[in-house]
Amino acid sequence: MASKSKRIAALVLTAMMATAALAGCSGGEEEEAPIPAPTTTSNSGSQSQKVDLSDPETVQFIKDTMAEEAAKNGGKIELKMWCASDDQNFEKTLIDDFKKDFEDSRYKITVKTLVKGESEAGGAVVEAPKKAADVFSFADDQLSTLLKAGAIAEVAPYYANNVKDENSADSISVSTSNSKLYAFPKTSDNGYFMYYDKRVFSDADVADMDTMIKKAADAGKNVYFNMGNAWYETGFFFTAGCTIKYENGVQTATLGTPEGLSAAKAMAHIAENEGKGFSGSPGQIGDNAYVAQGFDDGTLAAAVIGTWMGPTIKKSIGDANVGAAKLPTVLMDGEQKQLHSFGGYKLLGVNVFSEYPFSAQTLAYFLGSEANQIKRYETRGLIPTNAVAAAKDSIKDDPAFKAIEDQKAYAHPQGSSVGGVYWSSGVASIGGDLVNAKGNISDSELQTKLAAVEANMKV
């Protein structure tokens, strides 16, 4: 046992020294100084041991290392964590478990859980890294921005190989740059599919959007797809064959093309049914509240949304009545074509400037562990990246899990597709205008809108 502890001690101390060096690179308080790029030790196989959080010796060593870190900070470990508003209450329960599992008389742990959505966390870290959270949840497309700013710490060698071994290959791929791991995978459901009421639709009905809209209208209900949200709307452009890329900080999107017009006309065909079997806007209340309200009051029979709404929908119409499927086909250029989507992962990152680098890394690993990914699924309906967790019958047999897997063949990674300028280009206004006009916009007007949005991305 002693030799094992010494090996682990050497590894962790190496990791701490590397990570602490990063935190110390900031120099004075001049916020305008460029942020240094990470330079931590590489994650080779010889540098990592199996980390088992149920093993008393492992936990004791982690406590000893945290105690050394706390001793340099007045016996305190004070961490700040960012997560989405819908996840805050759940994540607080995990924080309570973390403090209980790693409590020790030599230090006091404090973890503040604050709201910062995954879509904005990366930008907020880059904007003011020294004031940002020690640990933060973010969408995988933000990793390149965090790396360019040098604002995210490389996963410490002590944890890196464990993270690689425990999670799916795809989730590790999007968490890696230049063969170095920079994030802890958290969930594999940063995408969307179709939830539907099985009392209204059969499995065959949900294969195409036109059939769904007709059946919903006959039942006095609607199918919801937020066309005024670029994240959802872009699926039509991918379906039409538009090229949308984000490379080396440059955004390109061939929207002002015949393919772009085909996508817009397909949206127009659907938007003609606004209020008559189709709903394309959540109004002022936002997607989640609109979907919850719609299933609760019976005005919605289906919605394109993600797993985070699964528990709410089940509560509204009953678990036995909830179906899930990949996105339907849509009528485009006179034929039914499979609707594409964005797909990706939500990750946990550690701030390179954290004053408690090892404790922050430990918290991130703990939050992304097998046990906590299972709890996150059971409580929040979020699909694990952990291979053992995802193999559980209760998860792999979940219709939402199957829907995500079926949609993956038509899902595009955000990181290589879109950057910030894409979202701010006005692309969302195309679908939004179509919904407001109930599809009644001429081809020439659509072509002008598409060309203008594409031009905005080149500014």
Q: What is the CATH number of the domain that holds 178?
A: 3.40.190.10
Instruction: Report if residue 95 sits inside a domain.
Output: yes
Whether 177 and 251 map to the same domain: the answer is no
Q: Are residues 356 and 307 in the same domain?
A: no
Give the per-residue pLDDT at 34: 33
Residue 391 lies in a domain: no
CB within 8 Å of 299: residues ≥ 6 apart: 221, 222, 279, 293
Domain interval for residue 323? 193-343+412-456
Residue 351 makes CB contacts below 8 A (sequence gap 6+) with: 125, 129, 132, 133, 134, 135, 136, 151, 152, 153, 360
Is 201 contained in some domain?
Answer: yes
- Per-residue pLDDT of the chain (459 residues), as tens digits, is 444 443 444 444 444 444 443 443 333 333 333 333 333 333 333 344 689 999 999 999 999 999 999 999 999 999 999 999 989 999 999 999 999 999 999 999 999 999 998 888 998 999 999 999 999 999 998 898 899 899 999 999 999 999 999 999 999 999 999 999 999 999 998 899 999 999 999 999 999 999 999 999 999 999 999 999 999 999 999 999 999 998 888 999 999 999 999 999 999 999 999 999 999 999 999 999 999 999 999 999 999 999 999 999 999 999 999 999 999 999 999 999 999 999 989 999 999 999 999 999 999 999 999 999 999 999 998 999 999 999 999 898 899 999 999 999 999 988 788 888 999 999 999 999 999 999 999 999 999 999 999 999 986
419 shares its domain with 324: yes
**Can you give the pLDDT at residue 16?**
46
In 3D space, the residue among 327, 323, 305 whose CA is nearest the CA of residue 410 turns out to be 327
Residue 295 to residues 109, 236, 278, 376, Cα–Cα distance (Å): 42, 25, 14, 23
Q: Read off the DSSP letter of residue 257.
A: S
Shared domain check, 162 and 220: no
Residue 57 gets the label, from left (phi > 0), alpha (psi -120 to 50) or beta, of: alpha
Residues 243 and 316 in one domain: yes
pLDDT given at position 69: 97
98 shares its domain with 138? yes
Q: What is the pLDDT of residue 440?
A: 97
Burial class (CB in 10 A: 0-12, 13-18, 19+), 117: middle
Is 55 in the same domain as 67?
Answer: yes
Residue 392 lies in a domain: no
Q: How many domains does the chain have?
A: 2
The answer to whether residue 11 sits within a structural domain is yes
Q: Are residues 336 and 353 in the same domain?
A: no
Q: Which contiguous run of DSSP H or E holds residue 98?
A: helix 88-101
Whether residue 331 is found in the same domain as residue 355: no
- Residue 236 has a pLDDT of 98
Angle at 375 between CA 138 and CA 316, to 5 degrees: 90
Tell me the pairing of strands 135-139 and 76-83.
parallel
Is residue 280 within 8 Å of 431, Cβ to Cβ? yes
Whose structure tokens read 């193999």? Answer: 391
- 135 inside domain: yes
Q: Does 136 share its domain with 173?
A: yes
Domain membership of residue 154 (yes or no) is yes
CB 245 within 8 A of CB 252: yes
Q: What is the pLDDT of residue 251?
A: 93
Whether residues 301 and 235 share a domain: the answer is yes
Does any domain span residue 43?
yes
pLDDT at 416: 80
Q: 422, 425, 451, 446: which is closest to 434 by C-alpha?
A: 446
C-alpha dihedral (348, 95, 382, 122), degrees to nearest 10: -30
Whether residue 176 is found in the same domain as residue 317 = no
Q: Which residues contact 84 (CB under 8 A, 6 or more apart)?
A: 115, 116, 117, 118, 137
User: Can you read off the two tokens belonging to residue 329?
Assistant: 């086909």
